[in-house]
Amino acid sequence: MIVIEKPYISIENGKSRLAAKVNIDGDSREIWFEVESQFEKYLCYERGDAFVVAILHYAMLHRHDIKSMAPIGEDLYYQLTTDLIPALVNNSNIMYHTKLIADVDSSVLPNAGAVGTGISCGVDSFHSLAMESQTEFPNHKLTHLAFNNVGSHGEGVDAQQLFNERKNLAEKFCKEYGFIYVEGNSNLHNVIPQVFFHTHTYSSMFSVFALQKLYSVYYYASSGHPYQSFSLKDSEKNDAANYELLSLRAFSTHNLLIYSEGGEKVRFEKMKEVVKYPPSYNYLNVCLAQFHNCGKCEKCVRTLVALDALNALDNYKNVFDIEYYKKHKLFYYSNLYKGVLEHSDMYAGVYPLLKHKVSILEKIEGFKMYIKQIIRLWLLKKSSKHPN
């Protein structure tokens, strides 16, 4: 049994913190989410919603029921128990049908009417900005950009340093383009064991529900899994983005609409919109390896070849070493061809525009990389079947 005590607000180092004690089979832990003091009035201490969402996937994976000492909002309670939990259980041999034990609150919370999205400065993030900051619908036009530390940066000291570096970029963007910057920090990823790709929807929505008195609309940037790849199968070990059409609808309430932004498009279709959005030229940041775009990791490579296919490389000379790219086409086009051979969705749409540039040598190198990958996977599979 997991027991979530009533949330409360405290002040820590000048920041406002929403916290709750969470007892897991007798082991008491505190989970918190903190923001600048100007946002304290929007922290939702009246309900256990944020903490239930944060811990739900863990509870289902480890066969726990959840008891919340604070009430759960009616919409959220209904949709979790009627839709999300049963759907996940019915499509998994592992997930447990977690029971939610709590009073149900049918009242309407105050709401400031903010329209938000995350500001990671990646492709998905900039697609949300490009599309929703210029929308013709006033009630859906972006006003607030959130930068939250809830797991995407990893764990420990290095993760905190990466968060600090990237938040400065996000805050600078907000100041330059007139958005309200909302910075959130949490210990969730250090307290509750989780694999980020399995749980990012839940941990991200934890930050949104913590501030549910602020947002009336929130766009969650779909992470490269288009709607046509929707799947509930084996959700405990697959990317949570595979079933966001269901989970984000289950998390939406009458007071807080949550959209899977960009889910109708594959990655390359998003890039077509991003390159038409000039604010991305000096802020696009996709690197897996470090704060500045290294140009060589998987995400940098696929972003650069997409920019090449769209004839937009020179627009991004302030965030990528474009001259290095131009001098090392063998490396980049080989990776592109390897991605084609592997049927990678991340390169869908790119190769048809660049295939006339890919030389025989680059195809050979890409094929060699592809074969090495197959052999590596085969050896890993063989070793797992025959442990020492």
Give the pLDDT score at 224. Answer: 63
Amino acid at 285: N
Could you read off the pLDDT of 271-326 as tens digits, one per residue? 999 999 999 999 999 998 888 999 999 999 999 999 999 999 999 999 999 999 99
Mean per-residue pLDDT, 264-273 = 92
Q: Which two tokens stand for residue 58?
A: 């863990």
Rounded to two decimals, what is the model's pTM?
0.91
Rg of the chain over all Cα atoms, to the nearest angstrom = 22
Tens of pLDDT, residue by residue over 172-225, are 999 999 999 999 999 998 999 888 889 999 999 999 999 999 999 999 997 767
Instruction: Give the per-residue pLDDT at 193.
Output: 85
- Across the range 113-132, mean pLDDT stands at 96
Look up residue 191 and give its two tokens: 């307290």
Residues near 85 by Cβ (< 8 Å), separated by ≥ 6? 56, 60, 97, 98
**Mean of pLDDT values over 239-261:** 95
Of 235-239, 312-316, 362-366, 367-371, give the lowest mean pLDDT range.
235-239
**Would you list the DSSP string of 320-344?**
S-HHHHHHTHHHHHHHHHHHHHTT-
Question: Is the pLDDT confidence value at 236 over 90?
Answer: no
pLDDT band at residue 268, thresholds of 50, 70 and 90? Answer: very high
Contact between 204 and 220 (Cβ < 8 Å): yes
pLDDT category of residue 148 using cuts at 50, 70 and 90:
very high
In our burial notation (b when 16+ CB lie closer than 10 A, e otherwise), range 300-318 reads: bbbbbbbbbbbebbebbee
In this predicted structure, what is the pLDDT of residue 319? Answer: 97
* Whole-number Å distance between alpha carbons of 273 and 243: 24
Q: Measured between alpha carbons, how far is 318 from 315 in angstroms, rounded to an integer? A: 8
- In angstroms, the CA 31 to CA 28 distance is 10
| The pLDDT of residue 150 is above 90 | no
Cβ pair 117, 170 in contact under 8 A: no
Mean pLDDT, residues 68-89 taken together: 98
pLDDT for 332-362, tens place per residue? Answer: 999 999 999 998 888 889 999 999 999 999 9
pLDDT for 163 beyond 90: no
Does residue 33 have a pLDDT over 80? yes
Inform me whether the pLDDT recorded for 154 exceeds 60. no
Could you give the 3-state DSSP secondary structure of residue 379? helix
* Average pLDDT score, the chain: 92
d(CA 374, CA 332): 20
Q: What is the pLDDT of residues 46-72, one digit of tens each?
A: 999 999 999 999 999 999 999 999 999
The half-sphere exposure of 332 on its side-chain side, counting CA atoms within 13 A, is 26
Backbone dihedral angles phi then psi of residue 386, each to the nearest 5 degrees: -130, 70
State the DSSP H helix or E strand holding residue 29, giving kind and residue range, or none if neither. Answer: strand 27-36
Share of the chain above pLDDT 90, in %: 79
- For the cut 70, the answer to whether the pLDDT of residue 385 exceeds it is no
Model confidence at 227, in pLDDT bands (50, 70, 90)? confident
**For residue 388, is pLDDT > 70?**
no
Q: Identify the pLDDT of residue 266.
A: 87
Per DSSP, helices labelled H in the chain are: 49-61, 74-79, 85-90, 123-132, 156-177, 188-191, 196-210, 244-251, 267-274, 298-309, 322-327, 329-341, 351-354, 360-385
Band (85; pLDDT cuts 50, 70, 90): very high
3-state class (DSSP) for residue 28? strand
